[in-house]
Chains A and B, each alone.
Chain A
Amino acid sequence: MGGRYVRNPARERRAEERARQLLRSTAGAEALEMYERLGFLTVENDDGEYGYLIYPHRPLVGYDARNGEPLSEYCVRFRDGSDPEAGERLPDADDVLAKWLALRMDEAHTLGTANVHPLGRQLDPAMVRRDLSALRSWKAAA
């Protein structure tokens, strides 16, 4: 008989550590460094016109990559209910990687499943602007 989810911080720390290694081996060492330092990943289109901030368990944020202005929130989730005792949420780094993979594989379909809202529905616009500023500094230092 399946149990219900009970938070287990030690198990979740181990899962997060494992997820970070998968993130590094899949998206690269620089992506892991960005995630660990800034708390998010980015995906930008080939022309450098727009991109997405990828937060763990929070909406994607589209932004104009030419001027750094945030655009919209795209609420998309990757839930797994196969083990009720473990809960439905992937480790943070896996959630970020799932979004990264989905955008890389099929951006149109991923956005087509998302609920789209103006910036500010779930995320603090000031926080997003700070993150976009941090991203600019990150790129300039690279």
Chain B
Amino acid sequence: MKLLRMTPGKGDVLLAEGDPAVAEDEERLVREFRRQLDLGMWAAVPHEGPGGRREATMVRDFSEVPEAAERVIFFPRAAGG
């Protein structure tokens, strides 16, 4: 699983990568996941819906990330312009 974050000037950057089934990796992934939410990011898990349509689900806790998820994408929360 990869944790990615959209950033100005760079595009997406890799924050952490690991196998959540491995305790040491999971601990690192959870720590980075929480840090990004504390920084005010939203977390999205992309996936395919019915008929292969591209979808995304918001997750607010690492426990909500599906086991099969390959990526979690962090990006700034929406604000009125």
A: residues with CB less than 8 A from B are 8, 11-12, 14-19, 22, 25-28, 31, 59, 75-80, 82-83, 85-91, 94, 97-98, 100-102, 104-106, 109-110, 113-115
A-side contacts of B12, CB under 8 Å: 18-19, 22, 94
A-contacting 9-mer, from B3-11, B15-23, B24-32: B3-11
For the complex formed, measure the closest distance between the CB of B43 and the CB atoms of chain A, giving whole angstroms: 9
Sampled A-B contacts (18; CB under 8 Å): A11-B9, A16-B11, A22-B12, A26-B54, A26-B56, A59-B81, A76-B78, A77-B80, A78-B6, A80-B7, A82-B7, A97-B6, A102-B78, A105-B57, A113-B77, A113-B78, A113-B79, A113-B80
- Say whether B7 contacts A86, CB under 8 Å: yes
Contact residue among B8, B58, B79 (Cβ-Cβ distance under 8 Å from A86): B8
The 4 closest A-B pairs by CB, nearest first: A86-B9, A18-B11, A75-B81, A105-B58
Query: How many residues in B have their beta carbons less than 8 Å from beta carbons of A?
Result: 25
- Say whether A22 contacts B78, CB under 8 Å: no
- Say whether A82 contacts B39, CB under 8 Å: yes
- Say whether A87 contacts B80, CB under 8 Å: no
A19 to B6, CA, bound (A): 8
A94/B6 contact (C-beta < 8 A), A15-B11, A26-B46, A105-B44 known: yes
- Say whether B78 contacts A94, CB under 8 Å: no
A32 to B10, CA, bound (A): 19
For the complex formed, measure the closest distance between the CB of B12 and the CB atoms of chain A, giving whole angstroms: 5
Q: Is B55 at the interface (CB under 8 A from chain A)?
A: yes
- Say whether B73 contacts A78, CB under 8 Å: no
Contact residue among B9, B11, B42, B77 (Cβ-Cβ distance under 8 Å from A22): B11
